[in-house]
Amino acid sequence: MEFEAGKIRSEIRAFIVDSYLLGDESVKFSDSDSFMSCGIMDSMGILELVAFLEQHFGVTVTDDEMLPTNLDSVESLVSFIRSKSNC
């Protein structure tokens, strides 16, 4: 199954706004902003994010893949999901 980048991006952003910002759309974050540095999520929040990715996109995230380069911004998530779905 292949995902289209724009769709992934908007779904991830919707999840972040809904689950971490709890609907507060006044908080602005760019696609490259680090979730941790911006205070959008804490380390426990990362697990929540992984659960969402697995459920929503049907991918499996291994321990080795739990790295900031894969998970810490919208941009990195989009390419991570795309790379997973291409395999």
Partner 1 sequence: MCGIAGYFQLEGTRPPDKDLIVKMISLIRHRGPDEFGAFLDNKCVLGHARLSIIDLSTGQQPLCNEDETVWIAFNGEIFNYVELRPVLEGLGHRFRTHSDTEVIVHAYEQWDRECVQHFNGQFSFAIYDMNKRTLFIARDRMGKRPLFYTVQNGRFYFASEIKALFADHSIKRELDAEGLDQVFTWWTCAPPKTAFGGIAELESGSYMEISEIGISTARYWSMEYPDHYDDSRSVGSWAEEVHALLVDSIRLRLRADVPVGVYLSGGLDSSAIASLVRSFTSNPLESFSIVFGDSAFDESSNQRLMAKQLGTTHHQVQCNYEDIAACFPNVIWHTERPILRTAPAPMYLLSRLVNDAGFKVVLTGEGSDEIFGGYDIFKETKIRYFWSKNPNSRSRPLLLKRLYPTLPLSKVRFNYFLEEFYKEGLTETDRYYFSHIPRIKATSRIKDFYDADFKSKSAASDSMNAFAHMLPLRFAQWHHVSRAQFIEAKSLLSGYLLSSQGDRMAAANAVEGRYPFLDHRVIELATRIPPHYKLFGLKEKWVLKKAMHGALPEAILKRPKQPYMAPDSRCFTQKQAPGYVKELLSEEKVKEAGVFNPTMVGKLHEKCLRQSQGQMSFRDNMAFMGILSTQMLVDQFIEKFNEREIHRVTNFNVWRDFTTICNGHETTKN
Instruction: Give yes or no for residue 44 binding partner 1 (CB under 8 A).
Output: yes
Instruction: Give yes or no for residue 68 binding partner 1 (CB under 8 A).
Output: yes
Instruction: Give yes or no for residue 24 binding partner 1 (CB under 8 A).
Output: yes
Among 37, 54, 56, 83, binds partner 1 (CB under 8 A): 37
Among 14, 42, 56, 60, binds partner 1 (CB under 8 A): 42
DSSP 8: H
Nearest to 80 by CA among 44, 53, 41, 56: 53
Terminal-residue alpha carbon distance, the chain: 9
Instruction: Give yes or no for residue 72 binding partner 1 (CB under 8 A).
Output: yes
Nearer Cβ to partner 1 (5/47):
47
Distances (CA, A) of 64 to 7, 48, 49, 70: 26, 17, 16, 10
Instruction: Give yes or no for residue 41 binding partner 1 (CB under 8 A).
Output: yes
